[in-house]
Amino acid sequence: MTDTRISAPAVDKGFIRRAVELADLNAVRVALFQLTDDAELAAMPPAAGLDEQTRERLISKAVAWLEEEAGPRQLPEPPEAELRRLMNMATGEEMPDLEFHARKDLPAFKDFPWMTDWTDGKRDLPEGFQVVIVGSGFSGIAMGVQLEILGIPYVILERRQEPGGTWNVNRYPDVRVDTISITYEYSFEKNYPWSEYFGRGAEVRKYLDFIAKKYGTHENTLFGHDLKRATFIESDSTWSLEVDTPDGTKSLSANMLVNAVGTFANPKIPSFEEQEMFEGTIVHPARWPEDLDLTGKRVAVIGNGSTGVQLLSPVAASAEQVFVFQRTPQWISPRDRYGKPVEPEVRWLLDNFPGYWNWWHYMAIAGLFQTHRLLILDEEWKAQGGKVNPANDKLRDDLKAYITAQTDGRQDLIDKLVPDYAPFSRRAVVDNGWYRALTRDNVQLVTDGIARLTPKGIETDDGTVHEVDIIVTATGYDVIKYLWPADYVGVGGLNLHEFWSKDGPRAYLGMLVPNFPNMFTIYGPNSQAVSGGSALPSWYVIWSAYTAQCIVRAIEHGKTRVEVKEAAYQRYNDALDEESKNLLIMKQEGAPEKNYYVNEFGRLQVNVPWYGPEYHRLCTEIEWEDIDIS
């Protein structure tokens, strides 16, 4: 890895003070308390409630401590009661048991938070035992690291030539994480030196490559290997895999199969009427040509999801003219420090203030602890004229004010940009200067429907032809086609995609499907948490650890077959459907018909509806009664 740390900055009192002022003061206070036991720190309120004098006192104490004691070391995990006290201190709220158990690994003091270990030392494995993981993106690497820890042989099949999954595929302008990098990383790798607060795509690729090499998954990856068909062999409870490779089709056998193929694996390429007539270039962001030069070009950007919003500013900065085709307005919100480099002072603090990384990691996620309340309708509030509930309506007002400010109050734009459904009912889109870009002279927002393509451009329903050279179809992914297009054949010749054809993909906890023994899916159907605060990389580890618990238990009991009971799968999915109905996402106010996380059968498909800490409990305290091990 090339170290992006700033070498030896001149560290004087002013530098340290700037570092503390730029830092998360809740994290500073808790880390300092952990180091000093200073009762005055414990008595202070969280940063938002600090008066000027107390804030200054906190900063001075931190600066004074750092002047004397700063240095690179990691703190051990405090005993559980102390950890809980520190966590409560960080947010200023007492935490019930459910929440504590879901969050206690977020400060990540352990070497490998959440991961599974053997109950009583490593067991001998059956001869030739092998796990096959499909995909080497974030989730496949997490699963690989989990198996490395256990010492269980595995191989990762990756159809591309490098690890990274969706981060390897997407190379469009300004692609970057829209969740702050300190939470969009594995917590077993402490304090990775991100150069920006929200890592760019290339840096995320570099990070995943670094992790894969450091933790050993890279050398267990077969690149250029594309799974085509997986068949369960009942006689010996293994999976027989047919894999396309550069040397032709290969067969592989797996005792356990772990799908880690991601949700954003298949770009959704639209087909407009008379598309073949268009004489220009059509580009999906997931297939962005490295040498695409937009200088002086007329460009259409179709779509205003996370991708279309992320790429508009750089596209508008180089193209001559841009038409932005918006079908459905989105709630697009700003993020603090988005696009900003991590200052040398903050880098120094992360490296030299023990515990600061851990508590910043915790606090960066704590901001999401209360989000579930945004999703629950308050009927009393509505009866008094409210739209959803006080918190959601407040968010709506804030975002409307943001749109007004960003568009300089242009009513023609505001009328088109403010959605008629509630915020937080679709996946949040982060502003990368999208609203500002719409105010540029060379950018035009088009809200008429697309009727057809013509040789020269795009014709809208009102008959206008918008002449363009390049059409960027930021039209998303087939997020609801899980494990597609490979074929999976389970017990009795059952085809997985046929099994799912009734009302879309389903699984138990998002991971297990009956009649598909020894098969696990990471980030499977209904698994993306709607609330509660754990970023996706933590979930990849949690699902990997669940999978590992099942595999370890089978080995420790001398068994070869693990599967979810049909009744448990049914019970879980019935409850899931019921719970989904309570969420804003599935209510009229949340416009489920416009939500691509809801499938064609009107079912919530991508998200899991449970309150985050409850889903965490389900994924960490395994209900062994639901699982058959034989």
- Please give the span between the terminal C-alpha atoms of the chain, in angstroms, as a whole number: 44
Q: Pick from 116, 191, 238, 310: which binds ligand NAP (CB under 6 A)?
A: 310
Please identify, among the stretches 95-103, 300-308, 352-360, 577-585, the one whose residues bind ligand NAP according to the rule CB under 6 A.
300-308
Please tell me whether residue 525 binds ligand NAP under the rule CB under 6 A.
Answer: no
Please identify, among the stretches 1-9, 111-119, 244-252, 471-479, the one whose residues bind ligand NAP according to the rule CB under 6 A.
471-479
Question: Which residue's CB atom is positioned nearest to ligand NAP?
Answer: 305
Please tell me whether residue 303 binds ligand NAP under the rule CB under 6 A.
Answer: yes
Q: What would the two tokens of residue 416 be?
A: 């088109």
The smaller minimum CB distance to ligand NAP, of residues 83 and 530, is found at: 530
Interatomic CA distance for residues 77 and 46, integer angstroms: 22
> How far is CA 119 from each of CA 497, 524, 563, 621, rounded to the nearest angstrom?
36, 27, 20, 15
* Residue 575 phi, psi dihedral angles, 5° rounding: -65, -40
Work out how close the CB of 2 gets to ligand NAP at its nearest, in angstroms, rounded to a whole number: 23
The smaller minimum CB distance to ligand NAP, of residues 238 and 304, is found at: 304
As beta bridge partners, residue 241 has 230, 252
- Closest by CA to 267, choosing from 487, 525, 481, 504, is 481
Please tell me whether residue 308 binds ligand NAP under the rule CB under 6 A.
Answer: yes
Please tell me whether residue 472 binds ligand NAP under the rule CB under 6 A.
Answer: no
* Residue 182 phi, psi dihedral angles, 5° rounding: -65, -20
The smaller minimum CB distance to ligand NAP, of residues 476 and 505, is found at: 476
Please tell me whether residue 605 binds ligand NAP under the rule CB under 6 A.
Answer: no
Work out how close the CB of 309 gets to ligand NAP at its nearest, in angstroms, rounded to a whole number: 7
Please tell me whether residue 527 binds ligand NAP under the rule CB under 6 A.
Answer: no
Please identify, among the stretches 52-60, 301-309, 404-412, 585-593, the one whose residues bind ligand NAP according to the rule CB under 6 A.
301-309
* 373-402 per-residue burial string, b: 16 or more CB within 10 A, e: under 16: ebbbbbeebeeeeeebbebbbebbeebbeb
The smaller minimum CB distance to ligand NAP, of residues 601 and 624, is found at: 601
The smaller minimum CB distance to ligand NAP, of residues 255 and 306, is found at: 306
The smaller minimum CB distance to ligand NAP, of residues 282 and 494, is found at: 282
Give me the amino acid identity at 521.
T
Contact 460, 448 (CB under 8 A): yes
Please tell me whether residue 305 binds ligand NAP under the rule CB under 6 A.
Answer: yes
Burial class (CB in 10 A: 0-12, 13-18, 19+), 300: buried
The smaller minimum CB distance to ligand NAP, of residues 221 and 310, is found at: 310
Contact 224, 246 (CB under 8 A): yes
Interatomic CA distance for residues 507 and 516, integer angstroms: 11
| Contact positions with ligand NAP (CB under 6 A) in 242-281 | 264, 270
Instruction: List the beta strands (DSSP E) in 408-494.
Output: 429-430, 443-446, 450-453, 457-460, 465-467, 470-473, 487-489
Please tell me whether residue 307 binds ligand NAP under the rule CB under 6 A.
Answer: yes
Please tell me whether residue 331 binds ligand NAP under the rule CB under 6 A.
Answer: no
Q: Pick from 159, 205, 427, 561: which binds ligand NAP (CB under 6 A)?
A: 427
Q: Pick from 139, 183, 187, 304: which binds ligand NAP (CB under 6 A)?
A: 304
**Given CA atoms 214, 212, 114, 227 in this order, what sign does their dihedral have?**
negative
Please tell me whether residue 596 binds ligand NAP under the rule CB under 6 A.
Answer: yes
| Contact positions with ligand NAP (CB under 6 A) in 311-330 | 325, 327-328
| Contact positions with ligand NAP (CB under 6 A) in 437-466 | 450
Please tell me whether residue 474 binds ligand NAP under the rule CB under 6 A.
Answer: yes
Q: Pick from 16, 147, 177, 604: which binds ligand NAP (CB under 6 A)?
A: 177
Work out how close the CB of 522 gets to ligand NAP at its nearest, in angstroms, rounded to a whole number: 16
The smaller minimum CB distance to ligand NAP, of residues 435 and 516, is found at: 435
As a whole number of Å, the CA-based R_g of the chain is 25
Please tell me whether residue 173 binds ligand NAP under the rule CB under 6 A.
Answer: no
Please tell me whether residue 475 binds ligand NAP under the rule CB under 6 A.
Answer: yes
Interatomic CA distance for residues 482 and 477, integer angstroms: 11
Work out how close the CB of 607 gets to ligand NAP at its nearest, in angstroms, rounded to a whole number: 11
Those residues whose C-beta lies under 8 Å from the C-beta of residue 570, and which sit 6 or more positions away, are: none
Question: Mutual orientation of helices 80-91 and 356-366 as an angle, nearest 10°?
Answer: 60
Please identify, among the stretches 40-48, 170-178, 500-508, 622-630, the one whose residues bind ligand NAP according to the rule CB under 6 A.
170-178
Please identify, among the stretches 67-75, 187-195, 307-315, 576-584, the one whose residues bind ligand NAP according to the rule CB under 6 A.
307-315
Question: Sheet harboring 256-259: ordered strands across?
Answer: 221-223, 154-158, 131-134, 256-259, 519-521
Angle in degrees, CA 263, 267, 270, rounded to 5: 135
Please tell me whether residue 65 binds ligand NAP under the rule CB under 6 A.
Answer: no
Classify strands 457-460 and 450-453 as parallel, antiparallel or unpaired: antiparallel
Angle in degrees, CA 344, 347, 351, rounded to 5: 135
- Residues making contact with ligand NAP (CB under 6 A): 176-178, 264, 270, 302-308, 310, 325, 327-328, 427, 450, 474-477, 594, 596
